[in-house]
Homo-oligomer: A and B are copies of this chain.
Amino acid sequence: MPDTKPAITQANALAEQVYQRIKDDIFNFVLLPGDRFTETEMARRYGASRTPIRDALYRLEREDYLQVAFRSGWSVRPFDFKRFDQLYDLRIVLELAAVARLCEAQTPTGLDALEAVWSTPASGRSSDGKHVCELDEDFHQGLVLASGNVEMARVHHEVTEKIRVVRRLDFTFQTRIDATYDEHHEILRLISRRQGAQAASRLRTHIEASKAEVRKITLHMLYEAREPADKTEAQVAAQVAG
């Protein structure tokens, strides 16, 4: 992560870097749900003093990625499937509102860029799960952004970040990737024809399917993440809440 620009002197540069790195480590299961650590430990690990570390940790705590116990250390927040479900439902509400607005508008939707991505024939489609996941995020955020409400887009972005850790798992099988391409293409087609009700219906079904798929895979992944020898029942239990 050591970049060649050690200090362009951005505001809060270190805290921001640390924030991103910790978040990435959570997404990449380097930091597992239930893992415990201290501020000093993280300071050593990320090569900064406690001050920017604390900034980053508290930011992640307010965003519900971490938990802090008063004078008793930090921990990665356990998986909470109920919470993921609710975040998916919130996504649905926001995206359906965006689509409704897009279909009501007389002006062009400005979804040309998305259409270019998702109307590619099967031969040109990506099969790299990580890449498709990013494209998928761009698609759904693009819908909300195109609706023109910055605050809705901001909230939707936060939701996207929060579910990313499980959403990724939806793109581990080629069948799901293919389905994503097909459904996105179809949804864009319906929007371009201003068939709001059908677009909304398709979109809802599309997100619900992803939600169900992800839930199915997540538990399995959690058990795989640790070396079997190291894993105790307590550790597994700490990864899941509810």
Please list the residues of chain A having a beta carbon within 8 angstroms of any beta carbon in chain B.
9-12, 55, 58-59, 62, 68, 70, 83, 86-87, 89-90, 93-94, 97, 149-152, 155, 159
Which of B12, B58, B62, B149 sits near A90, CB closer than 8 Å?
Answer: B149
Beyond A55-B58, A62-B59, A155-B90, is A68–B149 a contact (Cβ under 8 Å)? no
Q: Is the CB of B58 within 8 A of A150?
A: no
The minimal Cβ–Cβ distance linking A95 to chain B, given in whole angstroms, is 10
Report the bound CA distance from A94 to B89 in whole Å: 11
Q: Is the CB of B70 within 8 A of A149?
A: no
Known A9-B70, A10-B70; 4 more pairs at CB < 8 Å: A12-B58, A55-B58, A83-B150, A87-B151
Report the bound CA distance from A87 to B155 in whole Å: 11
Provide the residues of chain B in CB contact with A149, threshold 8 Å.
Answer: 86, 89-90
